[in-house]
């Protein structure tokens, strides 16, 4: 009886592992992505219920089933609700929170299991301690990332921060070794270790610029994957092991891909060179006469109505202002007047790769109108008006021309080849990289200040009622 | 007898290392050709999958003695948080991808 239930469970775990791999594979193709997500979710359900009913240790099945089901039910209700209510613009924050919850879960498991092992069970102790450390760091790091994304925390740096972080990591590892080799050590050591890990997570994320948060979240995501894999070692549980390692490695690759899209290395993101060498770029050397010109709503309306082709470049400002629907309205209004409208999407526009695609898709913008960077760059020369909505660094020509610029080498949208450029921003302040943008001072560029949503609504009105 | 156990543990460890190494390669292989528009949903989907940690939480809670209140409370909390990770993760990903589907019409 016992053996057979163990065998069934092993088979269910195998099915679970396969669905995770298949799901992740399908998630990487647009057509199959949604099905892939569903398949992985079904596999997860099989693994969870299989564990509840079939898991046994030394012949004993699991107790406290009522408690387990209550916790599952509560988590399901609240999790579903939170995921349904969240605004599309706040997706990165939501992912960060869920990731933190996974980390906290791993840490809690470690805190309980550490009391159940005897000294000498080194491999189990390593798995527990590693899960505890990684889970805790992932939890506190994710919470800080969440706070930074929604503006609750500001970037903070202090002298010798990198050295303090390295020192702290060494202390954490040393204390971890103490716990592994003498598990009956005074409980206070465990609490000191926990608090150090929480503090480390905070200090690790706090100095990293807000624009780099997606990279950090992706990295913490792979941390939590490794923490889950530690649980897999601990229970010799293949579903946890495969799922955890898969996310650990895929998450790391995804992190590197995101860095690549921004033409930066991971070390550069983590240490944050922006603050250290931006002094050379506070004023752009190409533009000695830093004059920008403003333009009236009516002028923009006329310019766009009589254009043949308009290209919209969305950026984070569009996401913040929730202006995706107004943006679609502008597109429809212009198309009714016979203007061709396209969107130029930079791979890292917004706060996450793909962020703009998700947002515009929410507003029912036709997918075929979204151009990726290379396509867009070939079309700017035949474009009459480029409308930049809250994007900055991704259209900064310094990335091409100015070797001393911290964003030098990043691929950009070459909007300056178009006939006219209209930039909508809230103010003249620099973008996330802290670099001034020479584009704003070029003769063909006009500034249209204001919140993206308000500006777009007024613009649509203007085109509808006051042009011809 | 002791030797058999040692050999068995050894076999398990080696097997586990195999699985880990293969999974690392698989993870890299699976992700490498992703178009950048899918980065966000993919990250979110991977986020949901590492919620499999909830299995560990279920085991911990299921093994807790009825009088071990610390284990019961922490275990309950762990299952709850793990479920948030799993369910929230999958639902958010589905919501993102639902929009992608609409646009292809």
Q: What's the ipTM?
A: 0.89
* Assigned token pair, A373: 């960077």
Q: Please state the rounded mean pLDDT for residues A360-370.
A: 85
The per-residue pLDDT for range A34-51, each reduced to its tens digit, is 999 999 999 999 999 999
Say if CB A345 and CB A311 are below 8 A apart: no
Interfacial A residues in 398-437 facing B (CB < 8 Å): none
**C-beta atoms surrounding A429 within 10 Å:** 9
DSSP-based three-state secondary structure for B79: helix
Q: Please state the rounded mean pLDDT for residues A225-238.
A: 93
Tell me how far CA of residue A313 lies from CA of A364, A392, A417, in angstroms.
17, 10, 14
> Which residue of the set A212, A286, A384, A393 is catalytic?
A393
- Per-residue confidence (pLDDT) for residue A284, from 0 to 100: 42
B62/A64 CB distance under 8 A: yes
Q: How many CA atoms lie within 13 A of B54 on its CB side?
A: 36
CATH topology of domain A286-466: Rossmann fold (3.40.50)
> How many residues in total does chain B contain?
105
The per-residue pLDDT for range A167-218, each reduced to its tens digit, is 999 999 999 998 888 767 778 888 999 999 999 999 988 888 766 788 899 9
Indicate the average pLDDT of chain A: 85
DSSP-based three-state secondary structure for A309: strand
Q: Which helix (H) or strand (E) is A448 found in, with range?
A: strand A445-449
Say if CB B13 and CB A325 are below 8 A apart: no
Which chain A residues have a beta carbon less than 8 Å from that of B75? 64, 67, 108, 112
**C-beta atoms surrounding A128 within 10 Å:** 27
Name the phi and psi angles at A163, rounded to 5. Answer: -70, -40
CB under 8 A, 24+ apart: contacts of B68-72: B70/A112, B71/A112, B71/A115, B72/A64, B72/A67
Give every CB contact of residue A96 below 8 A, 6+ residues apart in sequence. Answer: A142, A143, A145, A146, A149, A213, A217, A220
Q: Return d(Cα A37, Cα B40) in angstroms, integer.
A: 13
pLDDT of residue A109 exceeding 60: yes
pLDDT of residue A59 exceeding 90: no
The DSSP secondary-structure symbol of B67 reads: T
Local confidence band at B37 (pLDDT 50, 70, 90 cut-offs): confident
Local confidence band at A279 (pLDDT 50, 70, 90 cut-offs): very low
Active site residue A393: yes
**Of the ranges A79-93, A447-461, B52-66, which is most confident?**
B52-66
Q: Please state the rounded mean pLDDT for residues A270-279.
A: 49
Which chain B residues have a beta carbon less than 8 Å from that of A37? 41, 45, 48, 90, 93-94, 97
Nearest CB to B79 within list A28, A71, A229:
A71
Q: Return d(Cα A340, Cα A331) in angstroms, integer.
A: 9
Interfacial A residues in 59-98 facing B (CB < 8 Å): 60-65, 67-68, 70-72, 74-76, 78-80, 82-84, 86, 88, 91-92, 94-95, 97-98
Which chain B residues have a beta carbon less than 8 Å from that of A248? 24, 27, 50
Nearest residue in B to A107, CA atom: B78
Which chain B residues have a beta carbon less than 8 Å from that of A12? none
Local confidence band at A269 (pLDDT 50, 70, 90 cut-offs): confident
Residue A388: which of A376, A400, A398 has the closest Cα?
A: A376
Say if CB B75 and CB B60 are below 8 A apart: yes
What are the domain boundaries of chain A? 1-85, 93-272, 286-466
Chain A, chain B: beta-carbon pairs less than 8 Å apart? 365
* Assigned token pair, A248: 């650990």
Say if CB A111 and CB B74 are below 8 A apart: yes
Residue A152: which of A195, A98, A93 has the closest Cα?
A: A93
């Amino acid at each position: 009886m016992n053996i057979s239930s163990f065998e069934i469970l092993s088979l269910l775990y195998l099915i679970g592992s396969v669905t995770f791999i298949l799901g992740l594979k399908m998630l990487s193709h647009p057509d199959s992505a949604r099905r892939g997500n569903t398949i992985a979710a079904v596999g997860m359900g099989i693994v969870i219920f299989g564990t509840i009913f079939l898991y046994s240790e030394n012949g004993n099945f699991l107790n406290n089933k009522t408690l387990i089901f209550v916790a599952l039910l509560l988590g399901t209700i609240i999790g579903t609700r939170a995921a349904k209510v969240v605004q599309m613009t706040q997706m990165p924050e939501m992912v960060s929170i869920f990731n933190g919850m996974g980390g906290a879960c791993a840490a809690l498991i470690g805190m309980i299991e550490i009391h159940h092992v005897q000294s000498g069970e080194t491999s189990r102790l390593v798995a527990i301690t590693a899960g505890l450390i990684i889970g805790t760091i992932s939890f506190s790091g994710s919470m800080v990332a969440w706070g930074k994304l929604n503006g609750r925390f500001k970037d903070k740096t202090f002298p010798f921060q990198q050295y303090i972080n390295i020192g702290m990591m060494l202390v954490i590892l040393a204390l971890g070794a103490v716990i592994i080799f003498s598990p009956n050590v005074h409980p206070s050591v465990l609490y000191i270790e926990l608090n150090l890990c929480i503090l480390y997570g905070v200090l690790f994320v706090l100095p990293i610029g807000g624009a780099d948060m997606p990279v950090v979240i992706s990295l913490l995501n792979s941390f939590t994957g490794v923490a889950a894999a530690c649980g897999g070692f601990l229970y010799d549980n293949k579903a946890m092991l495969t799922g955890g390692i898969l996310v650990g490695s895929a998450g790391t690759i995804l992190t590197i891909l995101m860095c690549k899209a921004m033409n930066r290395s991971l070390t550069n993101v983590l240490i944050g060179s922006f603050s250290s060498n931006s002094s050379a770029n506070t004023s752009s050397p190409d533009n000695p006469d830093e004059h920008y010109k403003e333009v009236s709503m009516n002028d923009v309306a006329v310019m766009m109505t009589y254009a043949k082709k308009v290209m919209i470049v969305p950026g984070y400002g569009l996401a913040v202002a929730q202006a995706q629907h107004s943006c679609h309205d502008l597109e429809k209004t212009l198309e009714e007047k016979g203007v061709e409208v396209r969107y130029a999407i930079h791979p890292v526009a917004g706060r996450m790769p793909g962020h703009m695609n998700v947002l515009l898709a929410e507003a029912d913008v036709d997918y075929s109108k979204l151009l990726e960077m290379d396509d867009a760059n070939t079309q700017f020369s035949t474009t009459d008006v480029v409308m930049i909505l809250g994007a900055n660094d991704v259209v900064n020509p310094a990335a091409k021309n100015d070797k001393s610029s911290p964003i030098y080498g990043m691929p950009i949208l070459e909007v300056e080849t178009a006939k006219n450029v209209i930039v909508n921003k809230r103010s003249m302040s620099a973008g996330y990289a802290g670099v001034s943008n020479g584009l704003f001072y070029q003769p063909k560029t006009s500034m249209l200040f204001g919140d993206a949503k308000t500006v777009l609504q007024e613009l649509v009105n203007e085109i509808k009622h006051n042009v011809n | 007898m002791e030797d058999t156990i040692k050999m068995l543990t050894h076999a398990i460890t080696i097997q586990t290392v195999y699985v880990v190494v293969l999974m690392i390669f698989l993870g890299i292989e699976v992700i490498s050709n992703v178009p950048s528009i899918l980065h966000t949903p993919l990250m979110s989907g991977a986020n949901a999958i590492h919620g499999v940690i909830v299995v560990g939480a279920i085991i911990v809670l299921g093994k807790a003695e009825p009088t071990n209140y610390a284990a019961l409370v922490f275990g309950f909390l762990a299952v709850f948080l793990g479920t948030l990770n799993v369910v929230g993760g999958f639902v958010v990903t589905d919501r993102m991808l639902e929009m992608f589907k609409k646009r292809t019409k």
